């Protein structure tokens, strides 16, 4: 930024080649911004361009065709998303209240189940659903003797609602833990019974957060194609139609236009979300109080009981789901008798170890490169405020709003011909993961960055260091906590998110999520269960490691 | 006596935060609990308010043992350090919140709320949002809210510590006036000697969870019981008589 570097103060080796170092600084910036343009802006433009292609040049015809042909799916999407967002929000709020007011082992168990659900790949609930409530399901068929068709929209809504709960619930738990204890105490002090406190103080204060949950669940449901594809049966949504279009590679113009339809509600929801977030108070920064909410739900009247029952139901179903997953992988049924077997596990290790190792390696690469990218990017954008910073900031936020299919089809359109022929390579998969996750990692880094006093930076410059010294000596050390959070986020997202990657992956170089999806889709439930268990265990291990590393840092800071 | 604390004890794990604390206060008086930060003032106040259960001892108010009564039923209200106002309600809704739980009609509730708002000079802001008020005004709303339920005892936990110096002085005098006017019994917690000396009818100096001295401001200032109380009050040196009582206090600041 400033041209008049103070020179001659620091006589270290660093100061020897100021011109070279300035060049390096520019080069890094160029790489970052170039990456953003190439891997976010360009694919998006490709979709827009392709959706407007018709027989006689530029036209909006395709939108009309899609509207006519897929009107039903669109309505299905909106219906499903509406039901899912309401049901999921009910579950999330109840769960958050249950955990926030709970104590001891129950709270720990609840958090544990939430964490496991959070790091589960998206098809796990569909898989468990088929096993438990399907045509030959443990509960519907074997226990209750029902014969029914489980492949319909209610299954989709139910399963989406369960699997979207963790993110919402953790968000609400965070809000509850930041809630002003004095407000709650005052209410009590003035004579309010627990029921009144819940109704008059807790729920109203939580309202913006609850709205955020409704919104986010809506958007996720609209964009989710995995659940309807696996358990929707003949019930299709626009997202599952896009998936079917794409896997056939039949009509990219049509798929592009369909994606543009998906884009509108997503972007609208995003801006509403941003507006609401302004009202929920700071997300990070101040440490959440570890104090639990002093409220006994059983004494909170009807609303309290509703929370207890719904939250209990959620945990019951989730618990059952994971018991079922593990059981499916290890229990064999021969002529009606059940027995423990490692046969499936052996098969998995024999045929799929390569896939699993590849998944972990990819996830590690994305975690390292992505985190580094986010740290540098947030430094240049938020700290150096390079030219056009707002524009690039918006660009980097774009993938957050986009449904995975949309981002995926953009990559197919952008990178399937020379000179940028990347389809079928690992690079396109890695880049897709990295840039899809960039909005979140950038925000984490920005939050931490804002806590590094600018005076430290000035001090480096003042004492004769240049921008690179600032980065190495102030920014990177200061961003260490963000590094760990981003690493964990990148790793677990890369291991568990299916979205766009399903279309981009080369069948010869499969990943675990893909294999899992494949196995659920084609009915190999034992393999799918083991794959899911593997993914969950690996992610939990890495997250646990990061958690420990973070803890140690903090402890050493104190002492 | 109107309020009696009898041998109160409180531990957090191993740590004994309040030790054998006994106090007395007459009706209509204002007691200041004065002590350095971390000496157990808030803990004591929370026990009187009912938010913490003492590990030993009991609390009597107006002849009744209130120790087992939960806070929502105690005739005691607290003005919290960070006010604890409800940000999603208007000023009037805040002030009348506690009245909802009394047997009053909507009309009575409104009138009572407005009269207390008038008392603190905020009647014209009745419909404002809490966020639209300044710190001093929020402070007054919190006070009005606590007084509106007409408690037998009102507790205040460093209520002025978030205000700037000038406003603090003003609020002190206003509080004193209100307390006299309404004849309400108050316990006021502070770590500020000057504040305690201005406000209190009686001052209880706390040190590491125990009562060091309880007396009127004047007596306290003139005859600090121990060197540490003297030091805390800003009395630097004491000269002792042969019999061990204070002979002379050399003050760094003049008496107020
Ligand atoms: N909930 C708690 N758990 C453990 N220790 C506490 C808790 N609350 C207060 N303490 C400790 O008790 C001591 C007295 O606290 P407090 O009553 O808040 O002091 P004061 O209000 O005089 O500053 C402090 O050392 C504090 O760390
Ligand atoms: Mg205190």
For ligand 1, atom 14: residue with the closest CA: B40
Mean pLDDT, chain A, integer: 83
Ligand 1 pocket member B38 (CB < 6 A): yes
Residue with tokens 């593990």: A326
Task: Compute, in angstroms, the gap from residue B10 CA to the centroid of ligand 2.
Answer: 15
Establish if B13 belongs to a structural domain: no
Q: What is the mean pLDDT of residues B13-18?
A: 92
**Looking at ligand 1, which atom is closest to the CA of residue B43?**
17
pLDDT value of position A58: 67
Residue with tokens 């890094």: A28
Identify the H or E element spanning B89. Answer: none
pLDDT value of position B252: 57
Give the closest ligand to the alpha carbon of residue B38: 1
Domain boundary among B150, B174, B193: B150
- How far apart CA A397 and CA A544 sit, in angstroms, is 28
Cis status, amide bond into A173, omega within 30 of 0: no
- Whether B8 contacts B21, CB under 8 Å: yes
Establish if B2 belongs to a structural domain: no
Contacts of A193 in chain B (CB under 8 A): 72, 101
Q: What is the mean pLDDT of residues A10-26?
A: 70
Indicate the range of A7-16, A342-351, A396-405, A418-427 predicted with least confidence: A7-16
Establish if B54 belongs to a structural domain: no
pLDDT value of position A7: 44
Q: Choose between A8 and A387: higher pLDDT.
A: A387
Structural domain of B231: 223-256
pLDDT value of position A387: 84
DSSP A215: H
Assign A34 a pLDDT band (cuts: 50, 70, 90).
Answer: very high
B133 Cβ neighbours under 8 A, 6+ residues apart: B91, B125, B141
Establish if B112 belongs to a structural domain: yes
How far away is chain B from the Cα of A281, in angstroms, using its nearest Cα?
12
How would you label B61-91 residue by residue, b for 16+ Cβ within 10 Å and e otherwise? beeeebbeeebbebebbbbbbbbbbbebbbb
Query: Phi then psi for A466, rounded to 5 degrees?
Result: -105, -170
Structural domain count of chain B: 2
DSSP B83: B
Domain boundary among B150, B184, B207: B150
Give the closest ligand to the alpha carbon of residue B37: 1
Query: Phi then psi for B244, rounded to 5 degrees?
Result: 95, -5
End-to-end CA distance of chain B: 29
pLDDT value of position A426: 87
pLDDT value of position A559: 32
Q: What is the mean pLDDT of residues A38-46?
A: 91
Pocket test for ligand 1, best of B8, B42, B190 (most atoms within 8 A of CB): B42
> Is the pLDDT score of B173 beyond 80?
yes
Burial of A421 per CB tally in 10 Å (0-12, 13-18, 19+): exposed
Assign A505 a pLDDT band (cuts: 50, 70, 90).
Answer: confident
Domain boundary among B150, B167, B189: B150
Q: What is the mean pLDDT of residues B213-230?
A: 85
Q: Choose between A407 and A7: higher pLDDT.
A: A407
CA-nearest of A172, A177, A170 to A118 is: A170
How far away is chain A from the Cα of B103, in angstroms, using its nearest Cα?
12
> Is the pLDDT score of A57 beyond 70?
no
Q: Which domains, from first to last, does chain A contain?
A: 1-59+343-559 (1.10.3720.10), 61-328 (1.10.3720.10)
- Whether A159 contacts A230, CB under 8 Å: no
End-to-end CA distance of chain A: 38
- Whether B98 contacts B149, CB under 8 Å: yes
Q: What is the mean pLDDT of residues A416-435?
A: 86
Kindly report, residue by residue over A525-538, the tens digit of the pLDDT: 888 889 899 899 99
Q: Choose between A337 and A185: higher pLDDT.
A: A185
Cis status, amide bond into A84, omega within 30 of 0: no
Kindly report, residue by residue over B228-237, the tens digit of the pLDDT: 888 888 765 5
pLDDT value of position A268: 84
Ligand 1 pocket member B43 (CB < 6 A): yes
Kindly report, residue by residue over A433-473, the tens digit of the pLDDT: 999 999 989 988 988 888 887 777 777 777 767 788 888 88
Chain B contact residues (CB < 8 Å to A): 49, 51, 70-73, 76-78, 80-88, 97-98, 100-102, 142, 145-146, 149
């Amino acid at each position: 930024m400033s041209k008049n570097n103070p020179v001659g103060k620091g006589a270290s080796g660093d100061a020897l080649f100021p011109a070279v170092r300035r060049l390096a600084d520019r080069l890094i910036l160029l790489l970052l911004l170039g990456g953003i343009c190439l891997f976010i802006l360009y694919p998006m433009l490709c979709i827009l361009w392709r959706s407007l292609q018709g027989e006689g040049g530029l036209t909006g015809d395709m939108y009309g065709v899609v509207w006519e042909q897929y009107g039903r799916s669109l309505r299905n999407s909106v219906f499903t998303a509406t039901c899912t967002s309401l049901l999921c929000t009910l579950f999330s709020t109840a769960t958050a209240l249950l955990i926030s007011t709970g104590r001891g082992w129950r709270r720990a168990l609840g958090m544990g189940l939430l964490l496991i659900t959070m790091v589960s790949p998206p098809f796990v609930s569909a898989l468990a659903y088929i096993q438990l409530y399907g045509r030959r399901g443990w509960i519907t068929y074997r226990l209750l003797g029902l014969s029914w068709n489980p492949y319909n929209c209610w299954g989709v809504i139910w399963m989406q609602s369960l699997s979207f709960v963790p993110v919402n619930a953790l968000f609400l738990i965070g809000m509850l833990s930041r809630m002003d204890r004095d407000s709650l105490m005052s209410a009590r002090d003035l004579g309010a019974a627990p029921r009144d406190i819940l109704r008059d103080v807790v729920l109203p204060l939580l309202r913006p957060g609850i709205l955020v949950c409704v919104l986010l669940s809506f958007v996720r449901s609209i964009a989710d194609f995995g659940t309807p594809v696996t358990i929707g049966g003949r019930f299709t949504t626009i997202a599952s139609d896009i998936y079917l279009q794409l896997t056939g590679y039949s009509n990219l113009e049509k798929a592009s236009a369909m994606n543009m339809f998906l884009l509108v509600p997503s972007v609208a929801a995003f801006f509403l979300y941003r507006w609401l977030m302004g009202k929920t108070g700071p997300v990070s920064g101040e440490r959440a109080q570890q104090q639990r909410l002093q409220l006994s739900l059983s004494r909170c009247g009807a609303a309290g009981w509703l929370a207890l029952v719904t939250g209990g139901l959620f945990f019951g179903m989730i618990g059952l789901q994971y018991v079922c997953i593990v059981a499916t992988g290890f229990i064999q049924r021969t002529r009606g008798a059940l027995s423990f077997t490692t046969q499936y596990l052996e098969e998995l290790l024999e045929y799929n170890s390569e896939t699993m190792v590849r998944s972990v390696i990819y996830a590690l690469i994305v975690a390292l490169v992505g985190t580094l990218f986010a740290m540098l990017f947030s430094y240049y954008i938020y700290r150096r405020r390079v030219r056009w910073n707002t524009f690039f900031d918006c660009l980097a936020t774009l993938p957050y709003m986009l449904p995975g299919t949309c981002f995926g089809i953009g990559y197919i359109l952008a990178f399937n011909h020379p000179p940028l022929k990347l389809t079928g390579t690992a690079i396109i998969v890695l880049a897709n993961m990295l840039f899809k996750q960039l909005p979140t990692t950038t925000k984490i880094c920005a939050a931490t960055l804002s806590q590094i006093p600018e005076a430290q930076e000035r001090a480096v410059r003042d004492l004769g260091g240049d921008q690179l010294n600032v980065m190495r000596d102030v920014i990177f050390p200061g961003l260490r906590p963000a590094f760990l959070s981003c690493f964990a986020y990148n790793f677990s997202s890369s291991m568990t998110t299916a979205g766009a990657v399903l279309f981009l992956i080369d069948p010869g170089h499969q990943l675990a999520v893909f294999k899992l999806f494949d196995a659920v889709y084609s009915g190999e439930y034992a393999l799918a269960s083991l794959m899911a268990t593997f993914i969950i265990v690996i992610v939990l291990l890495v997250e646990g490691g990061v958690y420990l590393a973070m803890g140690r840092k903090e402890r050493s800071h104190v002492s | 006596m109107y309020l009696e604390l009898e041998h109160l004890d409180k531990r957090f794990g191993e740590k004994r935060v309040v030790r054998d604390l006994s106090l007395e206060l007459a009706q209509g008086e204002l007691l200041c609990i004065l002590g350095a930060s971390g000496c157990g003032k808030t803990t004591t106040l929370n026990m009187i308010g009912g938010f913490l259960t003492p590990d030993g001892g009991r609390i009597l108010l107006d002849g009744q043992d209130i120790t087992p009564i939960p806070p929502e039923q105690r005739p005691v209200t607290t003005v919290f350090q960070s006010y604890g106002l409800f940000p999603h309600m208007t000023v009037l809704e805040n002030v009348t919140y506690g009245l909802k739980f009394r047997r009053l009609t909507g009309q009575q509730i409104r009138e009572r709320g407005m009269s207390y708002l008038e008392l603190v000079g905020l009647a014209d802001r009745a419909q404002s949002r809490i966020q639209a008020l300044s710190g001093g005004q929020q402070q007054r709303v919190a006070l009005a809210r606590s007084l509106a339920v007409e408690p037998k005892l009102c507790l205040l936990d460093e209520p002025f510590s978030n205000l700037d110096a000038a406003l603090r002085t003003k609020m002190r005098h206003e509080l004193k006036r209100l307390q006299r006017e309404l004849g309400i019994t108050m316990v006021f917690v502070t770590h500020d000697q000057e504040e305690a000396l201005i406000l209190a009818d009686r001052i209880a100096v706390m040190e590491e969870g125990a009562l060091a001295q309880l007396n009127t401001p004047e007596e306290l200032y003139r005859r600090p019981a121990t060197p540490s109380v003297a030091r805390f009050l800003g009395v630097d040196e004491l000269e002792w008589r042969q019999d061990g009582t204070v002979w002379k206090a050399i003050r760094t600041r003049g008496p107020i």
